[in-house]
Amino acid sequence: MSPAPHPFDEAIRLEALADGEFAGRSSPAYWNMIGPYGGITAAQLLQAMLQRPERLGDPVSLTVNFAGPLADGPLRIGTQLMRSNRSTQYWTATLRQDDAVAAIAMAVFGTRRPVWSHTEARPPTIAPHDSLPRASRDGAPAFTQHYDLRFERSPWEHRSTDSRGACWIADDPPRPLDFPALASACDVFFPRIFLRRGKLVPIGTVSLNIYFHADAAALAAQGTSPLLGSALCHIYQSGYFDQHGELWGRDDRLLATTHQIVWYRE
Amino acid sequence: MSPAPHPFDEAIRLEALADGEFAGRSSPAYWNMIGPYGGITAAQLLQAMLQRPERLGDPVSLTVNFAGPLADGPLRIGTQLMRSNRSTQYWTATLRQDDAVAAIAMAVFGTRRPVWSHTEARPPTIAPHDSLPRASRDGAPAFTQHYDLRFERSPWEHRSTDSRGACWIADDPPRPLDFPALASACDVFFPRIFLRRGKLVPIGTVSLNIYFHADAAALAAQGTSPLLGSALCHIYQSGYFDQHGELWGRDDRLLATTHQIVWYRE
């Protein structure tokens, strides 16, 4: 008997159909308040493009626009290679449920080369992973059961004039890092407006952008070690706020930077 | 006799064809090293979506993936409304030249509401606009003739361990700010790797992402006053670096945040 698949692999499992289309389903295991966790939708879209046999290189950028709600049930993802160059490919993907567009994505894949490299940013300071307790999931949405998040201070105690915050992020159960998992983790940050207002307010990510700064080998080297994340907001303006994050791996390796713009109501 | 149109308006001029398609041409006035300046291509794509009569609200986010080179000559932009909700719309646009895809874009348009708002970021410090000389355009590409850029220190003298820098940005000749102009200005920052390496190296923007934090009325209030921009890089890694920028208007108003991932060779 083979072991049960990891809930993340179950959530992003796709069946290849004809003409670059894939069949999947929204994941109850990664459910958020009123629909699937946005990170898992981003991971499904990326996974569809990764599954295409024509795909060359590793993801360099991924943008997902969340166009409409997703219900519990089957979904389809159409993928299209828009242009293929010598070392880069440009893909689009569209996620539909019952023929309604629920999310659209663009991705660039590329081949990385051993040229002069330098990390100018520095990782945030935080207490060691093992010294911090796992954050409570009491009353939290289902997807948080599958993320081991550790903060120095509870996000709820964090309210201040500064939304900057850091946390440790790991899959639960542990799972070796790959691109879909890294994409999903980019959406795990506590929405900055919750910190800032000290309360839950209605929100929804409108657009999520991810730049990957590592190749598949670097992600494999990370294995199941927890990621170190940091996030901040520049502006909450007239119903939309931005959120910027960094995801760091072992040896102060910056694996991804991520940005999103989020609708909110007050 | 009517006055000659502004070169920016000339550059983004589109003729509406059938089925959401538009005809335009690449702009010699905004030429960069080996093709059009990326900001003008982003502005053309945004302008096409803005021209669609079904469009509701103002731009909230714009992502442009630069898929291939553009030659001097005619081009076509196809636009598609992927989903329309009560207060948000999701658009895509594809720019082709001779049937080859040269750029693809996604945009979200939305209606802004007078809710609790707050700007957490602070504008960069820089000497007053009028106290600084306009940067030299000697040997610089054509598009820089149409941008009045002012730095405290020449970008070439800036080389250090920190790529952070600020500058004043204005159209030349002056032109009242609108969304296409703001999108174009988001790409005007000196590529951080030039600062860091103290030399020109081959580069090309792969993906440009813009979050707009103001509505049309706020842009109109900016008028022709110069924008204050700042930019920085987190990482130069294996042939791709990221660049993050902010564009500030009058009265410390944050008008846009922008990110791009740029291919480089060393």
> Tens digit of pLDDT for each residue in B195-253?
888 888 999 999 999 999 999 999 999 999 999 999 999 999 999 999 999 999 999 99
Q: A105 in a domain, yes or no?
A: yes
Q: Any idea which residue has 């609790």 for tokens?
A: B116
Which residues in chain A are contacts of B69 at CB distance < 8 A?
none
- Residues of chain A above pLDDT 90, percent: 86
CB contact under 8 A, B63 and A106: yes
pLDDT per position as a tens digit, B144-161: 999 999 998 776 665 667
Please say if the pLDDT value at position A63 is more than 80. yes
Q: Is residue B225 part of a domain?
A: yes
| pLDDT of A165 higher than 70 | yes
Q: A235 and B120 in contact by Cβ < 8 A? A: yes
Q: Tell me: the pLDDT tens digits for A99-135?
A: 999 999 999 999 999 999 999 999 999 999 999 999 9
pLDDT (tens digit per residue) in B4-56: 899 999 999 999 999 999 999 999 999 999 999 999 999 999 999 999 999 99
- How close A37 comes to chain B (CA, Å)? 20
Question: Quick check: is B242 in a domain?
Answer: yes
ipTM score here?
A: 0.97
Q: Which residue of B has its CA nearest to A213?
A: B237
Interchain contact, B108 vs A65, CB within 8 Å? yes
Q: Which candidate from B112, B163, B261 shows the least CB-CB separation from A238? A: B112
Residue B236, domain CATH: 2.40.160.210
> Does residue A119 sit within a domain?
no
Residue of A60, A82, A115 lying closest to B101 (CB–CB): A82
In a domain, A2, yes or no: no
CB B92 within 8 A of CB A94: no
pLDDT exceeds 80 at position A95: yes
* CA separation for the pair A24, A72 (Å, rounded): 11
Q: What is the pLDDT of residue B1?
A: 60
CB contact, 8 Å: A140 with chain B? no
For residue A257, list chain B residues with Cβ-Cβ distance below 8 A: 234-235, 242, 244, 259
Considering only CB atoms, A120 lies closest to which of B94, B100, B235, namely: B235
Better-predicted residue by pLDDT, B74 or B165: B74
Burial class of residue B86, CB neighbours in 10 A (0-12, 13-18, 19+): exposed
Cβ contact B235–A261 (<8 Å): no
Cα torsion A80, A204, B66, B266 to 10°: value is -110
Q: Does the residue A117 lie in any domain?
A: no
Inside any domain, residue A25: yes
- The pLDDT assigned to B160 comes to 65
pLDDT digits (tens, 9 = 90+) for A230-261: 999 999 999 999 999 999 999 999 999 999 99
Q: What pLDDT score was predicted for residue A197?
A: 87
Are A240 and B110 a contacting pair at CB < 8 A?
Answer: yes
CA distance A234 to chain B (A): 5
Q: Say if residue A160's pLDDT is above 70.
A: no
Of the partner residues B67, B85, B115, the one whose CB lies closest to the CB of residue A90 = B67
pLDDT of amino acid A14: 98
A11, A75 Cβ separation under 8 angstroms: no
User: What's the pLDDT at B3?
Assistant: 80
Q: How many domains does chain A contain in total?
A: 1
**Boundaries of domain holding A244:** 7-112+126-264
Provide the pLDDT for residue A1.
60
| Token pair in block for residue B39 | 């900001």
pLDDT of residue B158: 59
Q: With a cut of 90, say whether residue A139 has pLDDT above it.
A: no
Look at residue B179 and tell me whether its pLDDT is greater than 80: yes
Determine the pLDDT at residue B154.
Answer: 74
Where b means 16+ CB within 10 Å and e means fewer, B92-106 reads bbbbbbeeebbbbbb
DSSP state letter for B224: T
Task: Write out the two tokens for B239.
Answer: 């042939």
**Chain A residue whose CA is closest to B209:** A209
Within a domain: A192: yes
- Does the beta carbon of A211 lie under 8 angstroms from any beta carbon of chain B? yes
Among A246, A254, A265, beta carbon nearest to B115: A265
